[in-house]
Amino acid sequence: MLMEHTMNMPPTCNTALLAWIDEAVTLCTPDRVHWCDGSDAEYQRLCDELVAHGTFTRLDPARRPNSFLARSHASDVARVEDRTFMCAQSRAEAGPTNNWADPREMKATLRGLFKGCMRGRTMYIIPFSMGPLDSPIAKIGIEITDSAYVVVNMRIMTCMGRAVLDKLGAQGTFIPCLHSVGAPLQPGQPDVPWPCEPDPQKKYIVHFPDEPSIWSYGSGYGGNALLGKKCLALRIASVVARKEGWMAEHMLILCLTSPQGTKHYICAAFPSACGKTNLAMMQPTLPGWKVTCIGDDIAWMRIGADGRLYAVNPETGFFGVAPGTSQQSNPHAMASCTRNSIFTNVALTPDGDVWWEDMGVPAPASAIDWEGKPWTPDCGRKAAHPNARFTAPAKQCPVIDPDWQNPAGVPISAILFGGRRPGTIPLVAEAFSWEHGVFMGSSAGSETTAAALGQAGILRRDPFAMLPFCGYHMGDYFAHWLSMAQRTERAKLPRVFFVNWFRKNAEGKWLWPGYGDNSRVLKWICERVDGGGKAVTTPIGNVPAPNALDVTGLQISAAALQELCSVDRERWLKEADDIAAYYATFDTHLPAALRTQLEDLRTRLAAK
Ligand code: GTP
Ligand code: SPV
Ligand code: MN
């Protein structure tokens, strides 16, 4: 076998790493091995190769410098939740929300699949860190992949390359992440632009939490393939966090600064494609208010020396939903991807730029759609896939917060839960206590979206927006959340709120304008934290008192505002029944404190 290194020798003397690479090379039999150094030259070279290969189209450098479009295989467009496995020692540890498989049996299956899987391809070795390298909570992973597309995305999304190996040293530990698109090439067989395993039943996204390690086979897309993100920073990290007493959450982190200069850091957990990127970098419509962004998808949180909860964003880029992103809805995301960005499954315009639905600019008269087919506005098909994404460096965000890479993190004042709820759930409600807040998170629900394969628009429970990402028993995860109240003084814990930007009226129209106007809700939340904001107590939580929400300059009817903050007892009693049925699935793992919360809610709803 030909061993091609950018350096003569492997750029590490870490014996565990060298042994694992040896093992992987023997198993996967790649034609070449490349140790990624993370340099700009390497990035440019790989992008050029991807262009030559047909995976990438270079966008017009005058319009979008150093940026590329990729089109995936039509079957490989989103996370595959039903092919995602947690291989804890026992099914009970994985709990009812995870696909469990016996670790030994699964290893044998995977060894069979990975045998010879990189034939005809290059094996790339990607050293990466989730979290700033100088942070004590950073975790080092090594991703082995046969996809150059994965390498260039990982360079944007993580701290990647030589510095990570230096930090790892000879003795350091890392999380092995083995990835293959699952498409070996026979000698002479021509390659395709997006190799992958087209049979959905042969895709495997597998986690071994006890090792820990990750094996991913058959997909090149997003969370299936960029293993630092959902696999490491959420599924594996959630298991580690529980053992070590911290939290790994599917949350954005933002800083809200008032016109007086008061800062509040806020985390928000919304399910996939439910508004994290948008809220994280929003342009407030309230004059004088400012939002700066620390992160848009993942928060690692721990109690700091002062007893407050501190959050770190372990990523360095945004892997954001393109459709719906416009100058009006999210100008700072638009600015973040003006250069040095990768676009996947959007449309290509005749002038060499990208376009997607609700981009806020007129559709081009013709384009090439995400499947590579000619497209016109009247053809009846979408030009971009609903889960089309941009990969953009976080440092390009015009409102990136000065502390976004602070290794100590930022102190959190409030935690928000949310989702797409057309009815029942008011615009905003404040929890009565930490336990009530945990109840809100645990019972959160949302309509499904295009971020995962399967039908969109179905209401499902998605506790803490972690249903696809919690690596262990969900009931034990609830208990872990509750336990944070024992780790510090209650008064130092963040206040908890539930928000819903997606409530609809009888005609099926959004009642709330959303986006930059969500700053009005954030303002009320900060007023509650500071002790000023007026609220009325309802059975489900504290909602804004009439006139407490700042709607200056907003065209909204009093009736719509009233409906947005209304609490319908009948519907809520049904909601409570639904939560009870969901809770029953956790059996003895459901913490008693949450059962009590549910009973207290029912009592309050029943009271006149
Ligand atoms: P993931 O990256 O999948 O985790 O998604 P996300 O939570 O970051 O969602 P994102 O901000 O990308 O928003 C997803 C979709 O929701 C986009 O099409 C947005 O236009 C839409 N959206 C975001 N915020 C709002 C809002 O306040 N109101 C309405 N109506 N839609 C919104
Ligand atoms: C999500 O689905 O929540 C995402 C996109 O953030 S992916 O990286 O594909 O998981
Ligand atoms: Mn996400």
In this prediction, residue 75 has a pLDDT band, given cuts at 50, 70 and 90, of very high
Contacts of 45 (CB under 8 A, 6+ apart): none
Q: Is 274 marked active-site?
A: yes
Q: How far apart are CA 483 and CA 488, in angstroms?
A: 10
CB atoms within 10 A of CB 436: 19
* Band (5; pLDDT cuts 50, 70, 90): very low
Q: Is the pLDDT of residue 3 over 70?
A: no
The answer to whether 264 and 282 have CB atoms below 8 angstroms apart is: no
592-606 and 434-442 helices, crossing angle to 10° = 90
Output the CA 477–ligand 2 centroid distance in Å. Answer: 21
For 445-480, what is each residue's pLDDT tens digit?
A: 999 999 999 999 999 999 999 999 999 999 999 999
pLDDT tens profile 239-250: 999 999 999 999
Hey, which of 149, 272, 387 would you mutate to test ligand 2's pocket, going by the most ligand atoms within 8 Å of its Cβ? 272
Pocket residue to mutate for ligand 1, from 221, 277, 510, most atoms within 8 A of Cβ: 277
Tokens 């909570």 sit on residue: 137
pLDDT in tens, 498-517: 999 999 999 999 999 999 99
Q: Which pLDDT does position 267 carry in this prediction? A: 99
Alpha helices in 134-190 (DSSP H): 148-157, 162-168
- Cis (ω within 30 of 0) for the bond into 271? no
**Rounded mean pLDDT of 104-123?**
98
Contacts of 148 (CB under 8 A, 6+ apart): 46, 49, 50, 53, 55, 122, 124
150 Cα to the center of ligand 3, angstroms: 17
pLDDT at 4 over 90: no
Query: Which secondary structure element, helix H or strand E, spans residue 33, and what is its range?
Result: strand 32-35
Burial category of 550 from C-beta neighbours within 10 Å (exposed 0-12, middle 13-18, buried 19 and up): middle
- What percent of the chain has a predicted confidence (pLDDT) above 90? 97
Span 100-128, mean pLDDT?
A: 98
What average pLDDT does the segment 550-577 reach? 96
Distance of alpha carbon 356 from alpha carbon 283, whole angstroms = 21
Catalytic, out of 274, 337, 470, 565:
274
Rounded CA separation 533/549 (Å): 9
- H-type alpha helices, 54-102: 91-94
Mean pLDDT of 85-105: 98
Residue with the smallest CA separation from ligand 2 atom 10 is: 223
At residue 8 the predicted structure's pLDDT band, cuts being 50, 70 and 90, is: very low
Judged against a pLDDT cut of 90, whether residue 1 lies above it is answered with no
Q: What does pLDDT average to over the chain? A: 97
Structure tokens at 65: 């410098």
Each residue's pLDDT tens digit, 157-166: 999 999 999 9
What is the arithmetic mean of pLDDT over 179-202?
97
pLDDT for the residue 9: 72
Q: Which residues contact 22 (CB under 8 A, 6 or more apart)?
A: none
Cα(427) to ligand 1 centroid in Å equals 16
Cα angle, residue 233 at apex, residues 476 and 454 outer, rounded to 5° = 80
Tens digits of residue pLDDT in 248-274 = 999 999 999 999 999 999 999 999 999
Angle between helices 474-487 and 592-606 (to 10 degrees): 90
Count of other CB atoms within 10 angstroms of residue 576: 19
CA-closest candidate to residue 254, choices 342, 153, 330, 321 = 330
Q: Which region, left, alpha or beta, applies to residue 521 given φ > 0 means left and ψ of -120 to 50 means alpha?
A: alpha
Q: What is the pLDDT of residue 7?
A: 42
- Contact present, 534 and 545 (Cβ < 8 Å): yes
Residue type, 369: D
For residue 518, which atom of ligand 1 is closest to its CA? 27
Q: How much is the pLDDT for 136?
A: 87
275 pocket-lining for ligand 2 (C-beta < 6 Å): no
Q: Rounded to the nearest 10 degrees, what angle do helices 474-487 and 434-442 cross at? A: 160
The H or E element that residue 20 is part of is: helix 15-28
Average pLDDT over residues 59-80: 98
